[in-house]
């Protein structure tokens, strides 16, 4: 989720702004619920592709002290850049690193 998006996980699906996220790249659907929560300005909501066993935004929020929001990653903490995609195999190759929107119908 990007700033301003409302993210929710329910019924084994991820929803962005109320629309289900199309995720052909995951092997197992999430087996937890989350949100709905709105991503604050300058922060991002991230999920690992192993939805059932990733230590990601949905898990960080559950370990946060009261009155503090830990679910999101501040933009200044995002420092990596992808250069190669190897999964799914039909997408194997170099990544062009342009900003793309997730496929939300």
Q: What residues make up the domain containing 59?
A: 6-77
Domain count, the chain: 1
Report d(CA 85, CA 90) in Å as an integer.
Answer: 10
pTM score above 0.85: no
pLDDT score, position 58: 75
Q: Is 12 within the bounds of a domain?
A: yes
Q: Is 86 within the bounds of a domain?
A: no
pLDDT score, position 3: 94
Element (H, E) at 20: strand 19-20
pLDDT score, position 86: 81
Q: 21 vs 104, which has greater pLDDT?
A: 21
pLDDT digits (tens, 9 = 90+) for 54-89: 877 777 765 566 556 678 888 888 887 778 888 778
Q: Is 88 within the bounds of a domain?
A: no
């Amino acid at each position: 989720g990007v700033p301003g998006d409302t993210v929710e996980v329910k019924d084994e699906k991820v929803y962005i702004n109320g629309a289900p996220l199309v995720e052909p790249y995951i092997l197992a659907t999430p087996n937890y619920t989350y949100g709905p929560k709105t991503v604050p300005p300058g922060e991002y909501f991230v999920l690992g592709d192993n939805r059932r066993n990733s230590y990601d935004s949905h898990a960080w929020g559950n370990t946060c002290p009261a009155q503090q929001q830990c679910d999101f990653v501040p933009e200044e903490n995002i420092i990596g850049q992808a250069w190669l995609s190897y999964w799914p195999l039909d997408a194997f190759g170099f990544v062009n690193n342009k900003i793309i929107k997730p496929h939300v119908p």
